[in-house]
Structure 1
């Protein structure tokens, strides 16, 4: 660059003051902006100069030749079993309220059935037509379990017979049917949402998620500039590339949004005659896309890690609909296995009880047959047993 423009260039390698505080102490940095005074002895300062009011007073700054922003760099979650599909939907206040509602509905149905039967019996007793008929006692069966089966059947979308045709009973049953339908639909949609959710969803998507998320703790060393976890995207891209070269895996990714933008300029002497020339050359480079090409050429990003970079020149490709894998359905299989285990256990208990009852029945039948087969020594004379 020095030959065609015929002016000397002074290059500062790896030297830049980013703040008024030293990296190792909290005292005021006396060298702040002092490195720009070398411009008095050179025509062009080829380094990354961030524009500030103090620097504008000391030198002429060119148009920005690179735009950068601060972003968050964090580790990628490994693919794990989607256990949240069965843990997250089970919120204990919802299920506690559902249990209380079921108890209340079953109690109301039993009370309504008993009162309706009492009214029916009293009406039949007062009927003069049935006064000559023999009295038939029809005791009321309380808690026969039909209401329980009906409530559970509606909740499990299995249905069930309505034990009464009276209007009050049917109104309560209809209300419970509507409530069970809404609850089942809401739970099913929530369950499908967690089943189809990515199993390696990133911890955060933007800077706002840091404050909202309880699983992320941001660590910043006060008094230092380069040791702050939050740095420019250029550093993050280099870290992603180095991590991939070492581990051959994309273990790092960027958050979705930048939260602090910045620009990088060149510096010349104050009132330098080359300022307009440098501005024109930088604008030509930006317009032709050469700087973007150099950025991708100097720091090539592996294709395997392109999905982990959502900003900058490496934009995230369009997401495709991925097929549901076994990891997404892990929670569903866990629920199915638990249900099958409980059903098999209930079947074993029923078989044991049935075998015990059958054994008692056989014992009673055997003893009764032995009693009936015993010989009788009684003699009947004139209808009298001696």
Structure 2
């Protein structure tokens, strides 16, 4: 098998890396040193102890050797192109790395794909599947992977120097903009609403105590209906100020006026801020975010989870006895998890994940490749990446245990990483990966308001009208039953001698005016009742005197 032709930039990087590997810096100092050639005769006689005395930069095969290399598609690290005759080629960062190793270490290679398309995980009997199983059975000499380094894997394969570090992330469909019918409450936070309501209640209680005490001092003890009415009037008055209505009562005491004035100032600032922000917020539609963490996926039973099969993460899930990974295993036992080959992950991302209800749990590099390809094709951000990064992976290539050429491979991989070539190769495959990383969580629309977005306000109106109707019915029933008749104030005592005198009307008016100073809303009704009773009593007195 062979590697697809590299792009111009990739070719230049390969040439630079080949020079670095063949003539390590300082270049001139390395030219005068003789290399140690590995031949078929001494290949197996040279052990690891011998390599400690030989610098790995000088190791290479004297005769061209063919190595068996296991490979499976994992974009963006390696992409496999299969042909109808059963042959295939590879390209990508790992293909570039393999080409560098082959040219600098003087070997050819034969590519082999694992039958199950897996990276490798242990079975119940201790045997491994996937490419690690091929390493364990000595069916291949190298496996590209890349493989996440774990303790159990290190027992069956020899790991190289790390080529990169990556983390698992969560990929889901980006939510659609939603109209919030209760968005008119958003200009103020919950604590501001709570503070405003508590302030209204406290001020109303203080004013109620003051007004009830004042009426009791001027007119004597009042019945419970009069007291209740006075208290409710204070609550209603302060609620009216929150709704930006005028005050009903004007208080005489300086302390009371100062307290009410500070309250009015605070309410004015809050309500002006509310009204100014409301107009803009009604034009904003939020994009909901449901999944950010593994805990969200475990708790949300509407989501199906997709993992790559036979990976270090799935092995950890099988062995976990507590924590979130043990819970993920329980989610898999309930049938909410699908395990797929790495080559099938992109198809799932562009189909099931895009449709919604499916979460793809893969490495960050794979997710960025999916987003980059999608944005390059459609120009839209259709996916959302969860905030949580979990299960860090140290990526390496692996070989059979005791592979003599591994120190030379490590030396070249270290040089590659130090010059940041592998990361550059990966980044070149992700041209639009950053286009959707900070996609907005809300958008602004310019269209007429509809009932779909304003029905919450009409619900509030309907509830208010219903409560008003209920209170009206209660008032009618109370009035007909004879409770609390009259204007809510004690009936004045009429002196017959005062009625006969010419000053009776003026005194009645004075009584009404004294009441009006405390209860201006009841002035007219109280005055009418007072005059009516004065007229009735005068007529009754005159009738009695005539009869006598």
Cα pair distance change 1:55/1:199, threshold 3 Å: closer
Match of 2:385 among 249, 254, 264: 254
Displacement of 1:162 in angstroms is 5.4
- Shift, 1:262, TM fit: 0.9
What root-mean-square deviation, in Å, do the aligned CA atoms of Structure 1 and Structure 2 show?
A: 5.2
Q: CA deviation at 1:182?
A: 9.3
Q: Secondary structure at the match of 1:9?
A: strand
**More contact order relative to length (CA 8 Å, sep ≥ 6):** 1
Contact 1:203 1:216 (C-alpha < 8 Å) held by counterparts: no
With over 3 angstroms needed to count, the CA separation of the structure-2 counterparts of 1:290 and 1:114, relative to structure 1, is same
Once residues 79 and 69 of structure 1 are traced to their aligned partners in structure 2, the CA distance between those partners, rounded to angstroms, is 29
Cα distance change on mapping 1:278 and 1:153 into 2, 3 Å? same
Residue 308 in structure 1 maps to residue 436 in structure 2: yes
C-alpha deviations, 1:264-314, integer Å up to 9, x for none? Answer: 2112343333222211211222222221222133x3343xx63433xxxxx
1:220-299 equivalences under 5 Å are 220-222=331-333, 225-226=339-340, 229-241=360-372, 243-244=374-375, 249-297=380-428, 299=429
Contact 1:44 1:269 (C-alpha < 8 Å) held by counterparts: yes
Matching residue of 2:216: 115
TM-score (norm 1): 0.56
Aligned counterpart, 2:287: 200
SS of equivalent to 2:144:
strand
- Ranges in structure 2 where 5+ consecutive residues have no aligned partner: 1-98, 221-228, 306-330, 342-358, 466-548
Aligned 8 A contact 1:10 1:45 in 2: no
Change (3 A) 1:335 1:103: farther
Choose from 109, 113, 138 the match for 1:13. Answer: 113
> Which secondary structure does the structure 2 equivalent of 1:74 belong to?
strand
Q: CA deviation at 1:108?
A: 4.1
Task: Note closer, same or farther for the CA distance 1:279–1:195 as it changes in structure 2 (3 Å cut).
Answer: farther
Give the corresponding residue for 2:250: 163
CA–CA separation in structure 2 for the residues paired with 1:209 and 1:185: 38
TM-score (norm 2): 0.42
Match of 1:44 in 2: 142
Structure (1 or 2) with the greater strand fraction: 2
Secondary structure of the 2:184 match is: helix
SS of the counterpart of 1:45?
A: strand
* Pair 1:294–1:37, CA change in 2 (3 A): same
1:62-77 equivalent positions in 2, closer than 5 A: 62-77=160-175
Task: Describe the shift of the 1:18–1:226 C-alpha distance in structure 2 as closer, same or farther (beyond 3 A).
Answer: farther
Mark the runs of 5 or more structure 1 residues left unpaired by the alignment.
22-26, 120-141, 310-315, 346-386
Going from structure 1 to structure 2, the CA distance change for 1:215 and 1:180 (only over 3 Å counts) comes to farther
Q: Secondary structure of the residue that 2:143 maps to in structure 1?
A: strand
For residues 231 and 166 of structure 2, the distance between their equivalents in structure 1, rounded to whole angstroms, comes to: 74
Which residue in the other structure is 1:86 paired with? 184
Are the aligned partners of 2:204 and 2:238 in contact in 1 as well (CA < 8 Å)? no
Paired with 2:369 and 2:177, the residues of 1 have a C-alpha distance of: 24
Contact 2:143-2:397 within 8 A present in 1 as well: yes
Return the alpha-carbon distance in structure 2 between the equivalents of residues 17 and 307 of structure 1: 31
C-alpha displacement of 1:72 = 0.5
Partners in 2 of 1:80 and 1:217 — Cα distance? 20
Q: Distance in 2 between matches of 1:58 and 1:215?
A: 37
Structural mapping, 1:99-178, within 5 Å = 104=205, 107-108=208-209, 110-118=211-219, 147=234, 150-156=237-243, 160=247, 163-166=250-253, 170=257, 173=260
- Measured in 1, the distance between the counterparts of 2:370 and 2:153 equals 30
Structure 1 residue matching 2:340: 3-state secondary structure: coil
3-state SS, counterpart of residue 393 of structure 2 = strand
Contact 2:162 2:394 in 1 (8 A): yes
What is the alpha-carbon distance in structure 2 between the residues aligned to residue 70 and residue 279 of structure 1?
25
